[in-house]
Structure 1
Amino acid sequence: MPEATEAPAALSHSAAERPWVAAVRTLCEFAARRGDLDARFTPSPTAEQGMAGHRSVAQSRGPGYQAEVSLQGMHRGLTVRGRADGVDVSRQWVEEVKTYRGALDRMPANQRELHWAQAKVYGWLLCQLHQATEWNVALVYFHADRQEQAPPLVQRLTAAELQAFFEGLCDQYLSWAQQESAHRSTRDICLTALKFVHGEFRPGQRTLAEAVFRAARRGHCLAAQAPTGIGKTLGTVFPLLKAMPEQALDKIFFLSAKGPGRQVGMQALQTLRASGACRLRIVELVARDKACVHPDKECHPDSCPLARGFYDRLPAARSDAVDGPPLSQQALQEVAERHAICPYYLGQEMARWADVAVGDYNHFFDVSASWHASTLIHGWRVAVLVDEAHNLLDRARSCYSAELDWQAFAAARDSAPPTLKKPLDRVARAWQALARSHAEPYQLVDAPPTRLGQVLTEATQAIGEWMAEGEQGPHGLPTALVEFHWSALHYLRLCESFDASHSMVDVSTRPAGRGHGRGRVEARVSLRNVTPAEFLAPRFAATRTTVLFSATLAPEQFYADTLGLPVDTAWVDIQSSFSSDQLAVHVVPDVSTRFARRADSVAPICRVIADQWATAPGNYLAFFSSFDYLEQVASAIEARHPDIPCWRQRRHMDETARQAFLDRFVPQGQGIGFAVLGGAFAEGIDLPGSRLIGAFIATLGLPQVNPVNEALRERLQQRFGAGFEYAYLYPGLRKVVQAAGRVLRTPSDRGSVHLIDERFRRIDVRRLLPAWWRLQMQFASTPNAGCEPAEAATIIAGR
């Protein structure tokens, strides 16, 4: 990476030197879209269904018909490119093919006009190519469920009409493109001259920054294990900003698993923007339910005033937004309020024009991730930053997993209209037959149940058509029916890509409760992703570089295998900036926290906590494997040591309650917060200085042994030969290290960690703990667990 105080040489790939290029779709969506925002529940066909529909239309045409014809044209320096769905030159015919669901006559007029705009642009490009004076422009609609074509809608337009339409769109786009080009040029100049905000890097931070810059320059991925305290966020964002001009990067996506990580990313970006990246456009995207101003209304003009005329007001809002400060969630709300439009969909639009977009993992890695789709559609050159990347495995597994629950289905059927009774009854019969054929409470099956999939497909088609035809009644859409419909669609979509190498299917059954009929059985069908590697690999391939960083990314092979990282991924392990004398790590080897011996562990754990408290009063966190275990020990502490202030994590705490829990950790305060390992307080929180001086971790963090995790272990053993390690040990120890990492947050912090479990003596466990930790043996009682003090010293020395 260039020195923080110097600028690299003149750039050869600046945006100002590149011609203006726009895809036909981009041009039309920008310049031809007008009217209302209408997101009524009409599940659009999947990409696979869309391609199948296009093939079906092409196969029905005559011998002179050509599918997917590449075309391009130019106006005032703007090159417009695209592929026409179907062309027959002998008939002077071009058609735009659209797959759809529901009733065609209920399609919003502005959506139809957008389709016409694309068809007309292709019409002009063909007139220009073949020097024709007129051309037939057609819209062909193909029903994805009924596999039927509607009669083509045709306009025969002169070349002059088509040219005027095309140039009108280009003129609108060019005024924006010129502004964008000027922004890109100014942005790159600012970034070229950008200096590191703090002047000097922290220990380890420069090594991280250089590794990130090299990854962007060489076009490969980077996995960086970097400890707390070195400034990982600035150490990854800064070098990617420096790489943007040289590598002609269009965007950086900063992805976080949780809100606090997103806020840290925004703070780092705003700091760098203020220090020199003056024209950097930053946008923060949050989930729709968090951005929505009218949660009691639906996203269409008949319900929400912010949807009415949305696209008519969008150009002014867009211009306002790009000229303003960084678009945090609050700033987006303010711009949207000034222009009376929806802040969530304004944010989606502004992500297209931002230099850096900050959001959740789902924006790029989910099944239908919008940022990944836009990267492919628009040909963006992007870099992706994955914050706290150890969370990506579990999150990706959830993205590519699906569950069908009988009770949810029963609620959906109860709320459905009479017109849907037959298809839903067929689902019920198939579901019951499946449940009766599986006598065991939990059973793995080889593949998704065929009959259930068939009737679910029929039912979702019927529900989709019913909703698309607007027959939902005066009280809107039945919530239970909508939620089940989405779950079923997601399940069916994943069934299409199911393979036993990366996923498994299981059926869980139990007798139905009262009121559900004698002899009925409730069944849950789960399609569970085991390794998301096959799904994530194409996402990594779509980027110039993806940088995954975390304090816990070891062992390397575990993350490489399960995430599908490219074979040329670079790995860097940054040495901690903390010294071993800053953190006293005590191993308590004479206590077992296994479930069978949990009752016996409460008293010795209380002694360890009370002894430490007497030695160094202050703020501590105590972590346990479950809420029940937490309650047992917290109650014992309160009974035996009423002088020690205690507060507890509760199940299902909302944001206000979580913040109240953290607010108890005041500087120079004294007390113990009891929490669950792996929960909201075990990572991603920052309690520097005397706000937190120690942690007690009374568990190895291993996932619960149950049929699902055992099946996961077996699959991982078959594929990687490390079932126990991949399913239990590595995920568990990762949580332990993350929780311990809450103690030291700044270079001057000091504190202690107590690892309470006999299994922390094992060599394979100790090897997964940070190498800079100096482990000390501390017994909760007189040594009686087969480990004498002399032996303990040997264990620690041999680590």
Structure 2
Amino acid sequence: MSATYRVAVRALCDFTAREGDLDHRFTPAPSAREGMEGHTLVASRRGDDYLAELSLSGVYEEDGFAGLTVTGRADGFDPTANRLEEVKTHRGRLERMADNQRALHWAQVKVYGALLCAERRLERVTLSLVYLEIASGKETLISQDATADELQAFFAEQCQRFLAWAQQEADHRQRRDSALQCLRFPHASFRPGQRELAEDVYKATRTGRCLLAQAPTGIGKTLATLFPMLTAMPRQPLDRIAFLTMKTPGRRLALDALATLRGRRDTVEAQPLRVLELVARDKACEYPDRACHGESCPLAAGFYDRLPAAREAAVAQQWLDRDALRDVALAHDVCPYYLGQELARWADVIVGDVNHWFDSHALLHGLAQANDWRTGVLVDEAHNLVERARGMYSAELDQQRFNRGRRAAPKALARPLERLARQWQAVFKEAGAEEAGEPGKPTYHLLTTLPDKLVSAAQQVGAAITDHLGEHPEDASLELQALLFEALAFCRLAERFGEHSLCDLTRYGRGRAVLGLRNLIPADFLAPRFHTARSSVLFSATLSPAHYYRDLLGLPDNTVWREVASPFAARQLEVHIRRDISTRFRDRDASIEPIVATLAAQYQRRPGHYLAFFSSFAYLEAALMRFREVHPAVPVFSQTRGMPEAQREAFLARFTPGGKGIGFAVLGGAFAEGIDLPGDRLIGAFVATLGLPPFNDFNEALKARLTARFGQGDDYAYRIPGMIKVVQAAGRVIRSPDDEGVVVLMDDRFAQTGVRALLPSWWQLGSHASR
């Protein structure tokens, strides 16, 4: 090795000191905020000489190894008492803490002790584990004296356990970077537009900037983003690349591209690149009917004892998509999901959902912060990130779930639950929602302020349930746990409530109401995520206007926007605008006849497969019924409400080469983006809507908030989101340089200058516009 290998104290001890079962039974634990406040409280109780958050580091050297650098921050050191403290917050009785958890805590404080003695040339030190019970504020100190020699021996033992792995990791990094220095594009030539995109990604990665890249479908965006970032990886150097997707098909495309770049797995020519696919817990679980602990699940029993062998086998295999990871896990009798969580620490490229970086509890973002990774982030179909992020930073309190939890709660929790019930009624009264309304017709109420008294009552309920279950874990029913988790999530977001969010109440009938904290501007939450990444590349076929994404996602000021020229010629796509049709809500009934006539005329002119998109199922069903009445000979099929996956697959299976028929679908739904029907499987699309969100109290409040913040409320709340859906739906038609087809936009507003500016620049609207 030419340089030392760096590892954090926590990561070192996680690797060397964990043993026994995996145990994810519900145990009340402090939140991250409570943990930080607990550390601050302990420090405030110490003397003026107390050193909190003390940075320590040291190097372990051994023959044949350049060195292992261990770094971290000790929670506190009292030089007067010569006492080094490791602070851990907890809830409930301390004796319930697992032995292996306590062993991990002792390992950490001993390693810090060794580093402290070496740095300050101490002969001995008192080591203390400070356990702070959050509810009572009571400290329990467990202390032992240790000599510098004893601590150095312990430090050396941990380093020796980690040394072989560190050497392996350093060697792998060197081989990986050497291979990537010579990485070549896997095809004889780039597709039109592909090289341009790849060059922009490479420049952004090399300069550590954020890139917004709008590139048309069909040029191979996945390969054009992965290849340059991998090429830049050793030159930056990057520690990890995260390829983040919105849906499962995006992961599959990324894995296919990575397989092409790596080369065949069964040959020596394959790149030494570790690729990991992360999947959701419910999809990876082998025993969904079992609880996640050693007494219930055989893959949790002895998990940490078998983890080292499983980890070794996994990194040796290198290619770890869902199936390969499962094979390794089951071969070593460990849980596939938690093996994947562990391997996220050691993979070079991680492919997974966007929540792994952008969610409030994101795994990859947390690892990047803890280990100071230089991470390259690629976000596919990034036009969806605004809505996905809004969902990540929104929360609800469901009155029906509260009532179920209340019925299942022990009597000891009656008072805080009753207090919360009274606050529900107070919110109803203040919002004017005391009457339940007609069954099946929910009433919506926008609250002008956050109901602080209800939030306070929810916080008290969360604390009461947590404290009770800390003492009585046998009372942890599913209903009570669900109420607790919902209350905690709601209260965490309430603490950060501001101009980026609003509060609303939807009442569905007697005994059922939902109080929502709705995020409107995810920028305030996402900006730190982009700051953590060394470089971020967001790409999609629809990423304009750039200022919309810069503002709502909180992108850095130096973000670069690029539009890759389309490889498609205007002659490939006829674009017609029906200026004589209005799809405004008041004109829906009158629009049915001309829409049906337009569909039939185009189909008769050129029979084949088409998709017709509508703004709602009600609109779709009205048009479909009339079309069947007037043109019974034309094959038609339709998307339905709540369509299960098997029926969605059957819908897409209708689009066979050389087939004929019109599929009716909802704009923004499952068939409006992310599906690939090349050639004559799809030769045209009709869009009978601008895709504008409905005009209602919520969207008007969103508009007002966006106007106040950015001055463009109407565009940001209505026009731009609607046109993104339209362009995505129309983009299903031309998928390759050989495709030809037609798009018919049915609404007079498509002819407006501001709307036309949001359509792809390569479309020639004027020459094909119909009056």
- The correspondence of residues 753-768 of structure 1 with structure 2, limited to 5 A, is 753-768=743-758
2:591 maps to 601
Distance 1:718 1:132 in 2: 59
1:134 maps to 124
Distance 2:431 2:194 in 1: 56
Is the contact made by 1:38 and 1:108 (CA closer than 8 Å) also made in structure 2? no
- Matching residue within 609, 615, 621 for 1:619: 609
- The correspondence of residues 131-530 of structure 1 with structure 2, limited to 5 A, is 131-146=121-136, 148-274=137-263, 278-439=271-432, 442-469=444-471, 471-472=473-474, 477-500=476-499, 502-509=500-507, 512-513=509-510, 516=511, 523-530=513-520
Distance 1:129 1:561 in 2: 47
How far 1:162 sits from its partner (Å)? Answer: 1.9
Distance 1:199 1:189 in 2: 22
- Matching residue within 555, 580, 602 for 2:545: 555
Distance 2:280 2:378 in 1: 19
The alignment partner of 2:233 has SS state of helix
How far 1:64 sits from its partner (Å)? Answer: 3.7
2:629 maps to 639
1:8 maps to none
Matched residue type, 2:140: P
How far 1:325 sits from its partner (Å)? Answer: 4.6
Distance 1:298 1:593 in 2: 52
How far 1:776 sits from its partner (Å)? Answer: 5.8
Distance 2:305 2:350 in 1: 25
1:43–1:391 distance in 2 versus 1, CA, 3 Å: farther
The alignment partner of 1:75 has SS state of strand
Distance 1:679 1:555 in 2: 22
Distance 1:527 1:215 in 2: 36
Q: Deviations over 1:585-610 (max 9, x none)?
A: 11112222222221222222111111
Give aligned-pair identity as a percent.
53
Distance 1:479 1:643 in 2: 54
Distance 2:16 2:241 in 1: 25
How far 1:774 sits from its partner (Å)? Answer: 1.6
1:208–1:777 distance in 2 versus 1, CA, 3 Å: closer
Distance 1:106 1:638 in 2: 67
Distance 2:470 2:640 in 1: 42
The alignment partner of 1:323 has SS state of helix
1:164–1:256 distance in 2 versus 1, CA, 3 Å: same
RMSD: 1.8
How far 1:469 sits from its partner (Å)? Answer: 4.0
5+ long unaligned stretches in structure 2: 62-66, 434-442
Matched residue type, 1:89: P
Is the contact made by 1:466 and 1:472 (CA closer than 8 Å) also made in structure 2? no
Distance 2:472 2:160 in 1: 38
Q: Confirm or deny that 1:48 pairs with 2:30.
A: no
Q: Deviations over 1:120-169 (max 9, x none)?
A: 111222232343343221111112233x1332011223333322221111
After superposing the two structures, state which structure 1 stretch, 446-455 or 116-125, moved more. 446-455
Matched residue type, 2:413: L
Is the contact made by 2:205 and 2:229 (CA closer than 8 Å) also made in structure 1? yes
How far 1:446 sits from its partner (Å)? Answer: 4.4
1:765–1:130 distance in 2 versus 1, CA, 3 Å: closer
How far 1:90 sits from its partner (Å)? Answer: 3.3
Distance 2:404 2:536 in 1: 43
1:64–1:567 distance in 2 versus 1, CA, 3 Å: closer
How far 1:532 sits from its partner (Å)? Answer: 1.1
Q: Confirm or deny that 1:22 pairs with 2:11.
A: no
How far 1:509 sits from its partner (Å)? Answer: 4.3
The alignment partner of 1:242 has SS state of helix
Q: Deviations over 1:393-452 (max 9, x none)?
A: 011111111121222222222232333222211111111112112216544444421111
The alignment partner of 1:567 has SS state of coil
Matched residue type, 1:635: M
Distance 2:677 2:580 in 1: 30
Is the contact made by 1:438 and 1:509 (CA closer than 8 Å) also made in structure 2? no
The alignment partner of 2:263 has SS state of helix
- The correspondence of residues 571-720 of structure 1 with structure 2, limited to 5 A, is 571-720=561-710
1:778–1:240 distance in 2 versus 1, CA, 3 Å: closer
Is the contact made by 1:589 and 1:778 (CA closer than 8 Å) also made in structure 2? no
How far 1:190 sits from its partner (Å)? Answer: 1.1
1:468–1:642 distance in 2 versus 1, CA, 3 Å: farther
Matched residue type, 1:206: R
Matched residue type, 2:495: E
Is the contact made by 1:41 and 1:468 (CA closer than 8 Å) also made in structure 2? no
Distance 2:680 2:310 in 1: 46
1:239–1:705 distance in 2 versus 1, CA, 3 Å: same
Is the contact made by 2:395 and 2:518 (CA closer than 8 Å) also made in structure 1? yes
How far 1:778 sits from its partner (Å)? Answer: 7.8
Distance 1:237 1:67 in 2: 42
Q: Confirm or deny that 1:68 pairs with 2:53.
A: yes
Distance 1:251 1:47 in 2: 25
After superposing the two structures, state which structure 1 stretch, 437-446 or 559-568, moved more. 437-446
Matched residue type, 1:555: P
Is the contact made by 2:196 and 2:564 (CA closer than 8 Å) also made in structure 1? yes
1:43–1:203 distance in 2 versus 1, CA, 3 Å: farther
Distance 2:146 2:164 in 1: 27
Matched residue type, 1:45: P
Distance 2:294 2:448 in 1: 46
After superposing the two structures, state which structure 1 stretch, 37-46 or 361-370, moved more. 37-46
The alignment partner of 1:51 has SS state of helix
Is the contact made by 1:457 and 1:492 (CA closer than 8 Å) also made in structure 2? yes
The alignment partner of 2:618 has SS state of helix
Distance 1:638 1:174 in 2: 72
How far 1:464 sits from its partner (Å)? Answer: 2.0
Distance 2:17 2:606 in 1: 68
Q: Deviations over 1:662-697 (max 9, x none)?
A: 112111111222111101111111111121111111
Matched residue type, 2:623: V
TM-score normalised by L of structure 2: 0.95
Matched residue type, 2:659: G
The alignment partner of 2:473 has SS state of coil
2:440 maps to none
1:68–1:738 distance in 2 versus 1, CA, 3 Å: same
Distance 1:59 1:714 in 2: 44
Q: Deviations over 1:341-388 (max 9, x none)?
A: 111111111111000001111100011111111111100000000101
Q: Confirm or deny that 1:723 pairs with 2:713.
A: yes
1:7 maps to none
5+ long unaligned stretches in structure 1: 1-15, 517-521, 780-788, 793-799
Q: Deviations over 1:71-128 (max 9, x none)?
A: 1222121111111111123323111101122332211111111111101111222232
Q: Deviations over 1:708-750 (max 9, x none)?
A: 1111011111111211110000000000000011111111111
1:262–1:470 distance in 2 versus 1, CA, 3 Å: farther
The alignment partner of 1:90 has SS state of coil
Distance 2:318 2:628 in 1: 50
2:524 maps to 534
Q: Deviations over 1:198-224 (max 9, x none)?
A: 121111111111111111111111000
Q: Confirm or deny that 1:83 pairs with 2:37.
A: no
The alignment partner of 2:431 has SS state of coil
Equivalent pairs, count: 753
